[in-house]
Amino acid sequence: MDIRKLMLALIAFLAVGSAYVVLNNTPKWPFEFKRGLDIQGGMHLVLQAKPTTEIKEITPQVMSAAMAVVRARVDGLGVAEPLIQPKGEDQIIVDMPGIKDKDEALRILGKTAVLTFRARKADFPQGKPAPKDLRASPAAAAQASPAAGASPAASPAVAGTKPSAAPTGKPTGKPTAMPTTKPGDEWVLTGVEGRMITQARVEPLGTSWAVTADFNGEGSKIVADVSRQLLGKQMAIFLDNQLISAPVVQSELNTGNVQISGNFDAKQANELMIVLRAGSLPVPLEVVENRSVDASLGAESVRQSVIAGGVGYLLVIAFMVGYYRIPGAVACLALIIYSFIVLAIFKMIPITLTVPGIAGFILSVGMAVDANILIFERTKEELKNGRTIYAAIENGFQRAFTAIFDSNVTTVLACSIMFYFGTGLVKGFALTLAIGVLVSMFTAITATRNLLHWVLESRGFKSPTLFGVQVPSKIR
């Protein structure tokens, strides 16, 4: 089998496979289109971290802690696939698709982070009840009161100076199986608070990692007293009433620092360190932008975008077939293959589709045809100069390649700049356009070229007039 037949087989495989991915919407199918905020509706917020008397400057360390707090709170709201990203030096963008209780979201996200260390009431009877004004998420409730039969071996990270069994909990605010001593068991405050932490850092510990938290003078005294009473028992870490980890105290903590270990990998340890910093660097978050998007508005935008895309497709097909004849029809076939490949990529990664993202895809369709136009114009020039059909096609592709490559590279560079410096919807537009441009390089050059040679194997399609060129019959 020659190289051309192999390429045709590859093109056919990509076309059929991509079409199957795009059109398959069965319940168990793992791929689906992710709809952005402007399509399915929801809430767009911009939060700004504000300095306090204790924290006079918003540093990158403060922002990473604030991001951890916002992410934990959004997870607790039950938002599916939120977008949380920094903006500038002191702002955070939060997109929450499908959010229902918008007033509750505003109230929760604007709070200052509260990190507390708690113990079970049975182990620490003198502890104060946890405050009720903070949100007690379903995740935290599941952690504090698990289903019957939870094993004590499921205890997560271990506090103290020695490593222990592998943890089951991760500092993400998600449910973790927690052992309980009896029905109705509850967590109470120990007096140890996040504001008492002066530093949190990740350190290697044998083949795993540990997190060390340093306390100020006030915190050191309280930690020493509490750890003395909780030897062999749990002292849990809560962020905004959400259970993050429940270490077991292995020794009296009277040195002013606490090491939390338990076969953490680097990522788990880093996440826990950020949570501890969130409590030690609490800053208020002010909502500086609040925009709600109704789902019906998003659906109307998608409908209009689909109509615009369909009309654009028909106009492109009509122009290409009418002006370039056979090559134009082949280019339209390659364009259909291109569309399926790009949409399959969007679905498999997956790419969150927004209205600007759909616009970027539609724009890339025009750019994909633009490459074919350059090639076909070069081919027509070669035919007018007396080249044979095959020679004209080959020279057309070769001579147009440099212009196509340069124009596509500059477009991808522009998309990279927009993606790096842009936010939210701008990033979606840049990403979909860049993917479309890269795929169009394959379909416009490789797919169109091989399909055109395949069509020309029939004698009936070898006339230059079918390429929109009138030349003397002796050079046909």
Say if CB 361 and CB 436 are below 8 A apart: yes
pLDDT at 380: 86
Say if CB 220 and CB 192 are below 8 A apart: no
For each of the chain's 476 residues, which pLDDT tens digit applies?
Answer: 578 888 889 999 999 999 999 999 887 788 888 887 777 778 888 999 989 887 888 988 889 888 888 887 887 777 777 888 888 889 998 988 878 777 878 877 877 778 899 999 989 999 888 876 444 333 333 333 332 222 222 233 333 333 332 233 333 333 333 334 344 568 999 999 988 998 889 999 888 899 999 999 999 999 999 999 999 999 999 988 888 888 899 888 888 888 898 788 888 888 888 888 877 767 888 889 888 777 666 677 778 878 888 888 888 889 988 888 888 899 999 999 999 999 999 999 888 787 788 888 888 887 788 888 888 888 888 888 888 888 888 888 888 889 889 988 999 999 999 988 887 678 888 888 999 999 998 888 889 988 888 888 776 666 777 776 765 554 44
How remote is the C-alpha of 255 from its chain's centroid?
41
User: Does 171 sit behind a cis peptide bond, omega within 30 degrees of 0 on the bond before it?
Assistant: no
Cβ within 8 Å of residue 140, ≥6 positions away:
76, 173, 238, 241, 242, 243
Burial of 280 (0-12, 13-18, 19+ CB in 10 A): buried
Say if CB 304 and CB 73 are below 8 A apart: no
Question: Dihedral of CA 410/412/413/415: which sign?
Answer: positive
Indicate the helix (H) or strand (E) that contains 279.
helix 266-280
Question: Dihedral of CA 70/73/77/81: which sign?
Answer: positive
From the list 457, 456, 440, 455, the residue with the least C-alpha distance to 334 is 440
Say how many C-beta atoms besides its own lie within 10 A of residue 217's C-beta. 9
Residue with tokens 């259909």: 336
Say if CB 369 and CB 317 are below 8 A apart: no
| Start-end of H helices in 325-424 | 326-348, 355-384, 389-421
pLDDT at 74: 84
405 three-state secondary structure: helix
From the list 66, 90, 47, 46, the residue with the least C-alpha distance to 281 is 66
Strand order in the sheet with 236-239: 128-129, 187-193, 115-120, 236-239, 242-245
pLDDT at 411: 92
Mode of pairing for the β-strands spanning 34-35 and 352-353: parallel
Cβ within 8 Å of residue 472, ≥6 positions away:
none
241 three-state secondary structure: coil
pLDDT at 120: 92
Say how many C-beta atoms besides its own lie within 10 A of residue 158's C-beta. 25
What single DSSP character describes residue 471? -
Return the bridge partners of 379, or none: none
Residue with tokens 């702002």: 91
List the Cα angle 154/158/161 in 5-degree steps: 155
Indicate the helix (H) or strand (E) that contains 286.
strand 285-293
From the list 11, 39, 10, 8, the residue with the least C-alpha distance to 346 is 39
